Structure 1
Amino acid sequence: MDAVPRRRPNVSSDNPRSNDGVESRPQNESTYMSPSDRGLSESVYDSPELSFWIKSLVIIFIGAVYVCSLRHSCTINVKKQTFELLHFSSDNARVHLQRVTSLGPRPAGSNANELSAADYLRRELLNIARIATHSGMKVEFDEQVSNYSSFQTGFHVSAYNNLRNFLLKFHATFLSNCHYDSAVESPGASDDFVSCAIMLEACRIFALGPNNLTNDLIFLFNGAEESILPSSHAFVTQHQWAKEVSAFLNLEGAGSGGRLMVFQSGPGTDSEFLVNSYSDSFAQPYANVFAEELFQSGIIPSDTDFRVFRDFGRIPGLDMAYTSDGYCYHTRYDTESRISKECLQSTGEDIVTFLRQIVKTSAWTRSVYFDVLGFQLISVPWRLWKLFDWLLLTLSVCWLLYDRRFNSLSLDWIYFRRCNSVFGLIFAYLLGYLTHHYGCRMSWYSARYNLVGIYLLPFICWFFWFFTLLTNIPNGLCVICFKSSGLFNKMGWVISRKTNNLLIERDFFDAALFVIAFHMLVFDLLNSPAGFVSTIWLASILFGRVMYQLTAPNSLNSVRWTFFLVIPACLFWHFYFCASVVEFFIPVFGRSGQIIEPDIALSVCLFYLISPITLLFGGMMQCSAGNASRSLRLILLNACISYAVLVHASPYGFPYAIPPTSSVDDPTFSPRLQRIAIFHTERRFRDLADSEHVTSNDSFISILPLDVNDIRFLKPHSYPAAIPSSLFSYILQDDNLPNDNFGGLTELVNASSIPCNRSRPYCGTPSLYPYIHFLDSFYQIPSPPHSLKPTARLIMLSRTSLNNPVFPPDRQAVNLTFSIVSGPPLTHLLIRTDTPSVRLFAWSFNSSSPFPIPIPLPKKRDYPGPTGAHYFVYHVNAELRNHSQVWTQPWTFWLCLDFSTDVVQPHVDLAAAGIYVHDQFTSCNSPVLKEAMSRLPPWVTTMSGCSSYEHYRFLLK
């Protein structure tokens, strides 16, 4: 058959596009078409009017608000509390939760964690074991105290000793894990003792059973998760029961209450069985494989015991966490009062049901999983989902070929569609950039509805302007400037200056279909289950379009019917999915440091999330009536400008919430506060090699803001500081500004950030965690020293030359052995070498790489000297002792270094960083620190304590 020109359906003269100066196409213009398409081409395509768009946006908005509210509900079929012993009781779990969280913060090594909480768990677990024995069950209780060990995690090494785990084994194949320690200054209700309380109540139920335990069950209560996961490593590598574990359930907390979210599974095929059991057991599932891909990519600055069980134990499992109200995470607001009785009861019942199903199943078999509005979990093996993706891709290609069976195949319509995505992405980046650098940063942090006005509303406005003015066919501004009429004539969209709306709508739909299919293909080639979103959209719109064309082909031209095709049922699921992603990420941006610019990241993320919807609306926007397009553009533009003025010229743009009272137990207040780390620090430097003589010292209050707002809101009279930093500061005069004095640190008014001193190990910073490379600003307020007891003390035990034939003649190797003999439970080791003249090539710490890995530092600025190589060893020793005395078990380690023989005095710099965050240290009650904290504004929450930095220098020859 000869080549056939592109089919050009007629446009009836009774419906020209309004005010576009384009008349309908003459009926006698000859065009080849099949008989089956003749009726379709001769029908009328009614252009969307203004009322249609307004009603549609209102309906979508109301539906989005409703489905987003489903994420927080825990009111599903909650059973009335009874005295039946075999039922889960939230009252019993609440008692456990209240008694332990009332002890206050419980970091590893503190008396609250190592004595009080440990005694409570020991007593309760022994009672449960006694009950189980009377019930005729075989139960074993064990208390593990770890030996010394170390392991590589990220860029640093974690070392630990004397950590405590409690275990209860019923008849040990399946492991259920929680941790009973907490972050600094946090009571740790959601993170993570509520999980321990649920597990204690589950233990009681299983002890009273009868239960058919085909698979055995271990409950693990680990005592040092917040110290970068050492307790789970101690169990996996040192406990005799670890080899018997076939799968595990890890219970965590990244918020305060709400529903438990499954956000990690695997590794291996056994996770398929776990996900299916979760689907069958949880009445209100909340799970998403997209969250798993994000978490494992390292984008989120958090970690859980799941990684240790997976990487060091090679055990498959599920990772569940509370994510609602993530602002409470690791703050003093993480109290038991924020965990509702309904959520505690429903979560406990679901977990008990899940564990019962696990232990009764005798068969074990990467899944794609997601929940549908919290009512049903969809779980499909990844291999089958990929097969479905390829089938769907084949059907999409067939549809595109079928839809163009009488057309000349051209990719111009796809290129035109991709221009929208590219320019839209640029617009999203510029919008985030302007907001971050010249507007109110993070205005959505305290008021999430600002996301709608600051980002979503401009995105909608952009798309309408792009399709109805800039690239409108045939009279758009870009069309006229770039003289694209020849392309439109080739496409059949414009014939003798007459537009063919029906063909435009169909081509734009096919372009959207192609783009979504391409995205799905990319995720499949990357072997990432996170592409399931593209699969859902592609299947929904393709199935809807095909079914409608088969059942009502002569009505396809009606835009009101087309609207229901391009807005399928998955739209509201997509809103639910987007809301879950945004709800998780917004609190994370409050603790992600200053390297990431959250307004830019969030703007681009939101654009990507709503792109499937806008892809499908493009053709309809192009075909809108002229008056409707013009009116809607003006309405949206006015709305964007009005909202921008409101946010930037009023306290609505202030990023943080102000607590109504000083009580942390008010569950109605969401603590959307600025996080800072504030420590009273004392440093001693010993620049004379092999000498204990202190050559210099200093002391100060160190302040590390943990978000991009830096110190702008820590100064006096900084509320609402968004006004003087905004584009609209000229609108309000000083007389109109609120005159509330919320305090602030006057020392920071003209303060400058302290650059990283790269000549000292780890910038001379005794950091609680090895993550200062996420920060860009460090501030110091000079202060008198504080009393440090015990002082971290390091001594060198030996220096031995090494004869290694591997090294060239101009280099020599040496082994140095050291010991840290005193210090607080958190005493870290910091190392710096002058590379390349001095290199560290081996050490006594376990590492996953053949050579020690240097840790990254903050970006280099205002420091002309060499960087060298820096190493961080995070160390926790939870041994109970008199902390003013020398350690009964010194921390001994060795380093192997090689150096150039041309260097006159080759040396290595070491520092022992002592972190004092426990109540038993009198130095934690520093009056200077307390006075500084008392002057902080009420919208600030702190991670505080005292620290010491003991620097030493040792020669290598």
Structure 2
Amino acid sequence: MGTQAPLHVQHKKLDWFYAPCFTAFWIVLYMAVVLQQVNHLPTPLTLQDEFTQPDSFITERAENVLLNLTNLGPRVVGSEANEVEAVTLILDQVFKVQNEMNQDYFDIEVDLQVVSGQYMHTSLYHGVQNILAKLSAKNNTSTNYLLINSHFDSTPKSPGASDDGAMVAVMLEILRVMANSKGPLEHPIVFLFNGAEEDGLLASYGFTTQHKWAKNCKVIINLDAAGSGGREILFQSISESSWLMNYYSKVTHPFANAVLEELFQFGLVPSATDFRNFRDYGGMQGFDMAYIQNGYVYHTEFDSFKVYPKASLQNTGDNVLSLAKSLGNAPEMRNINNYGNMEHFIFFDFLGWFMVHYTMNTNLIVNILVCVAALIAIVISLCWISKRADLSLLAIVAQFMLTTFIQTLSLALGAAFSILISYVMDVIGCSMTWFSNNWLICGLYFCPVFFFLGILPAGFLEYTKKYALPLGLRIQLFLHSHCLILIVLTISLTFLNIRSAFMFMVAVFFYAAALIGNLITQLHNKGSWFAIPVIVSQIVPFLYFSYVAEYLYFIFIPVTGRNGGASNPDLLIALIAVIFAILLSGFLIPLYLLFRRTRSIILCSLGVAILFMILAIRPIGTPYTPKLAPQRYTVQHANQLYHNADGSIRSNESAIYLYQQDRHIDIAEEVIVKFKAAHETSTVCNNEATCQLDRPSIFYTPNSLWLPVNEPPGIPYERPVLTLTAKTIMNTPNTVRYNYTLTGPDHMMFFIEPKTSAKIINWSFDKTILSRKELVFTFVHGKNNDAFEFFIDLECHSNNTNTQSLEIV
């Protein structure tokens, strides 16, 4: 039998210079593995590769399509570029595929849908276009289709290379590859190129509610963008689609996470995609996928062919082609209603290497089992320590509870200090200093958490150094304490049905594995050797958590530049840092207590935090970088015409409307100083509804500016004209019907408000919103610019049915 060292002998600490080596190990691991995988893209295939890989996605061919599409310039709904040139380009590509396809096996049916209607009560659209190509095997009898969607329109000023031209090019190449193959294809695939997404998801709604193929489309792959290239992430699925994950898990380059889906559903990502229409109005199952990297250029002139990384086409093409082939032959598609389990599920990829997915029921079982196993391991460890120290179990438990209190206090102070810094930076006008220089986040918001996670335990161990337990065992108590805190979080979040609880479970699982390993090998009784299993066990969670944190910042940093100025953006960035600092370092920081000069080493993290705060308030902390990370603000030249019920103009006012998109509207000073007067909308309006009527704009925000000018905007086409075409006395007492026509440009907005003595009882629009006091409508026309006709039935409370009873702006 071996002998055990007396407990009163304190194990020798490691030399301090090993601490930098320990830190360097994790930094190198992050840079060599995490950054590599986050940014990894496959090698693009060229036309020469087509001879050896005829069934593969060819990037060069898709790249040529994207170049031609972006050369058209911005493709705004109603413009020549969108309604004629882009439609012609896409149709030419589809017809080319149709002429060159394997006609012995496939049929392609092409349709150009021109659709009009009303969406979400107040969005009116007329003549927007959808291009459709249905690929099916000859003599196919399946009535269940796979739908793949992207949009070819773009925002004003933006060439729309990534959003969403690249996805259009990907779909055309996938159509070509599949149509030239020899199958098989059991279920038809509808390729939908929709021409009006940026104006409020109009074209996809028109397809879903009016097209003849829509009712047959059961599964959707929606392709969009919130950045420029990179890897497309699966960020939304549907609660009934867990079976689909079996197919997604087989794609070549998986990239998905239920955490992001949860954040999107909580409204933390200010965006919406066509996926919503296919899900809500079409009842479809499926996937919502989008580019997220380089979100700085999203919806700007910099979303260009030159900026977009061409290898992203290969990444997306490989994945979507794989999904199209597998789902097009999926036996589940034969009777898809049999495969709905009506529950959410957990899904995530590990460094793009493989997928993990399971149902919420499984998640509940796994989370509870892991937590229970970890608790049992902690209890066994405490019992062993009690026996080893010849102390009562109650004394060891009391020491453990005290350690847990210190660890909890450390976490709380670290989080509070990090959040306090975010508040201070905002108060002194230095928010978003990390917007261009993302590395500042590490010192500003991660290091304060690291400092408090280390300094309080170090002080506590110094204060209790004469305690009967040796240093190694006391450090293990801190590790057990952190695990207990994570167990509480895991169980709490699990019972709140928050799927992100699996992140905390992962941390518990890997520490529990190390603890069980220590108990079996008895390394926990051999000085500092217990740290070896702990370090080894933390490699996988460190890689995973830093990987997730990296791409969450990819998303949220650019989002803060377009999320308005009402909230403090540093707070969001700090909260993400706090959560991931706890996950990443909670089991690593206590290991620094094994080194000599512990407090000096830990103080280095505080020094880094102070250094980064100084850098942040210096010029290096300037948020914006021209072309790479520019500031956004919308300058809208507005002209308001107030009409009476008879169409006559009561008021005519023009102004520049400056819409604040981030926390720093003051940086738009070069715009503001050009005008004699600048009014904050919040100072001239009592509430949002009133403000939209007094200072109407589709870009309304209480913190924006209204800059009155004398000159109306120069519109290169006809101005909006509202004409009263008929006035009819109805059979209903005191009721008059007003018939109007509205003509003008492809985008218009109008406000309808009955005066206090009148009430609208019927009209051409959605009747479910008649009870609203004021109504704001947007009108968009695509291919057709015919006059828009509508009527309003107005009931007055007296026999006086004059034109002052109704106002239209």
By how many angstroms is 1:302 displaced? 0.5
1:261/1:813 CA distance change after superposition, 3 Å: farther
Structure 1 contact 68–575 (Cα < 8 Å) conserved: no
SS at match of 1:880: coil
Question: Following TM superposition, by how much is the alpha carbon of 1:816 offset from its aligned partner in structure 2, in angstroms?
Answer: 6.7
Q: 1:418 aligns with which of 393, 408, 418?
A: 408
Given the alignment of the two structures, is residue 715 of structure 1 paired with residue 715 of structure 2, yes or no? no
Match of 1:639 among 593, 608, 613: 608
Q: Deviations over 1:12-71 (max 9, x none)?
A: xxxxxxxxxxxxxxxxxxxxxxx9998796775444653343222222222222312321
Query: What do the CA deviations read for 1:302-356 (whole angstroms, capped 9, x no partner)?
Result: 1001111111111111011111111111011111222333332343233222211
5 Å-filtered alignment, 1:929-940, equals: none
- Which residue in 2 is equivalent to 1:551? 521
AA aligned opposite 2:235: F
Native 8 Å contact 2:347 2:356 kept in 1: yes
Structure 2 CA distance for partners of 1:413 and 1:630, relative to 1, 3 Å:
closer
| 1:480-506 deviation per Cα after TM superposition (whole angstroms, max 9, x unaligned) | xxxxxxxxxxxxx687x7776445323
Superposed displacement of residue 752, structure 1:
5.3
2:249 match: secondary structure: helix
The amino acid of 1:362's aligned partner reads P
Deviation string, structure 1 residues 217-276 (Cα, Å, up to 9, x no partner)? 1111111011110111111111111111110100111111111111111131xx223222
Aligned CA distance change for structure 1 residues 693 and 389 (closer, same or farther; 3 Å) = same
Contact 1:94 1:197 in 2 (8 A): yes
124, 131, 154: which one aligns with 1:159 = 124
Correspondences of 1:546-945 after superposition (within 5 Å) = 546-555=516-525, 557-558=527-528, 560-561=531-532, 563-564=534-535, 567-617=538-588, 619-620=590-591, 623=593, 628-649=597-618, 651-659=619-627, 671-686=628-643, 690=645, 692-710=647-665, 712-715=666-669, 746-747=673-674, 751=678, 753-755=680-682, 756-758=684-686, 760=690, 762-768=692-698, 772-773=700-701, 776-780=703-707, 782-788=709-715, 789-794=717-722, 819-831=740-752, 845-846=765-766, 870-881=774-785, 887-888=786-787, 890-892=788-790, 894=792, 910-911=807-808
What are the superposed Cα offsets for residues 65-114 of structure 1, whole Å, 9 maximum, x if unpaired?
23123211213585784243543222211121111111111111111111
Counterpart residue number, 2:480: 510
The equivalent residue for 1:72 is 39
Q: Which has the higher helix share?
A: 2
Instruction: State how 1:365-376 maps to structure 2 within 5 Å.
Output: 365=339, 366-376=344-354
Question: Which residue in 2 is equivalent to 1:247?
Answer: 219
State the AA in 2 paired with 1:54: P
Structure 2 Cα separation of the partners of residues 60 and 815 of structure 1: 76
Cα distance change, pair 114–304 in 1 and its aligned pair in 2 (3 A)? same
One-letter amino acid matched to 1:678: V
The residue number in structure 2 matching 1:53 is 19
CA distance in 2, matches of 1:201, 1:560: 53
SS at structure 2 position matched to 1:426 = helix
Q: Structure 2: how far apart are the matches of 1:510 and 1:315?
A: 46
Alignment partners' CA distance in 1, 2:541 and 2:475: 21
Q: Does 1:391 align with 2:369?
A: yes
Match of 1:362 among 315, 319, 331: 331
**2:681–2:704: 8 Å Cα contact kept in structure 1?**
yes
Alignment partner of 1:534 is 2:455: no
* 8 A contact 2:656–2:707 mirrored in 1: yes
For 1:635 and 1:534, the matched residues in 2 are separated by 28
Greater shift after overlay, 108-117 or 388-397? 388-397
Distance 1:58 1:822, change over 3 A: same
Aligned counterpart, 2:279: 310
Name 1:264's counterpart in structure 2.
236
Q: Which amino acid aligns with 2:368?
A: W
Q: Percent identity?
A: 23
The unaligned stretches of length 5 or more in structure 2 are 137-143, 334-338, 387-392
Query: What's 2:419 paired with?
Result: 429
CA contact (8 A) 1:439 1:648 kept: no
Amino acid at match of 2:202: P
TM-score of the two chains, using structure 2 as the length reference: 0.86
Which runs of structure 2 are paired with 1:288-327 in the superposition (5 Å)? 288-327=257-296
Matches within 5 A, 1:154-303: 157-171=122-136, 173-268=145-240, 271-281=241-251, 283-303=252-272
CA distance in 1, matches of 2:677, 2:226: 36
Q: How many angstroms apart in 2 are the aligned matches of 1:550 and 1:119?
A: 70
Q: Which moved more, 1:775-784 or 1:812-821?
A: 812-821
Deviation at 1:391, TM superposition (A): 1.8
Distance 1:383 1:208 in 2: 43
**C-alpha separation between the residues in 1 aligned to 2:675 and 2:603?**
44
Q: In 2, are the aligned partners of 1:178 and 1:251 still within 8 Å (CA)?
A: yes
- Point out the more displaced range, 817-826 or 178-187: 817-826
Distance 2:160 2:253 in 1: 25
Q: How far apart, in 2, do the equivalents of 1:318 and 1:449 lie?
A: 33
CA contact (8 A) 1:92 1:201 kept: yes
Are the aligned partners of 1:445 and 1:586 in contact in 2 as well (CA < 8 Å)?
Answer: yes
**C-alpha RMSD of the superposition:** 3.5
SS of the residue 1:162 aligns to: strand
C-alpha deviations, 1:746-794, integer Å up to 9, x for none?
337995534353585614344345xx34x52224152422355433344
* Distance 1:220-1:71 versus aligned 2 partners, 3 A rule: same
Q: CA deviation at 1:556?
A: 5.4
Aligned residues: 771
1:523 matched to 2:482? The reply is: no
Cα separation, 2, equivalents of 1:333 and 1:620: 46
Unaligned runs of 5+ in 1: 1-34, 476-492, 660-670, 717-743, 804-811, 855-868, 882-886, 912-950, 952-957
Aligned equivalents of 1:596 and 1:572: distance in 2? 31
The 10-residue stretch of structure 1 (558-567 or 240-249) with the greater mean CA deviation from structure 2: 558-567
What is the CA–CA distance in structure 2 between the aligned matches of 1:432 and 1:528, rounded to whole Å?
26
Q: Which residue of 1 aligns with 2:29?
A: 63
- For 2:762 and 2:278, locate their aligned partners in 1 and report how far apart those are by CA, in whole Å: 26
Deviations 1:791-820 (A, max 9, x none): 3344566688999xxxxxxxx997976645
Equivalent runs, 1:7-156 vs 2, <5 Å: 44-47=10-13, 50-66=16-32, 67-75=34-42, 81-84=48-51, 85-132=54-101, 134-151=103-120
Query: What letter corresponds to residue 746 of structure 2 in structure 1?
Result: P
Q: Which moved more, 1:244-253 or 1:540-549?
A: 540-549
Instruction: Evaluate the alpha carbon distance shift between residue 87 and residue 76 of structure 1 in structure 2; reply closer, same or farther with a 3 A threshold.
Output: closer
Q: Which amino acid aligns with 2:131?
A: F
Provide Cα deviations, 1:198-221, integer angstroms capped at 9, x if missing partner: 111111122222111112211111
| Offset from partner CA, 1:681-711 (integer Å, 9 cap, x none) | 222335xx6454544433222221311111x
Deviations 1:141-197 (A, max 9, x none): 111111323235xxxx43322111111112251111110101111111110011111
Shift of 1:612: 2.0
The 1:634/1:384 distance shift into structure 2, 3 A limit, reads: closer
Q: CA deviation at 1:542?
A: 0.9
CA distance 1:892–1:693, shift in 2 (3 Å): closer
Deviations 1:267-287 (A, max 9, x none): 31xx22322212212x22211
> Is this contact kept in 2: 1:761–1:831, CA < 8 A?
no
Do the aligned residues in 2 keep the contact of 1:832 with 1:871 (CA within 8 Å)?
A: yes
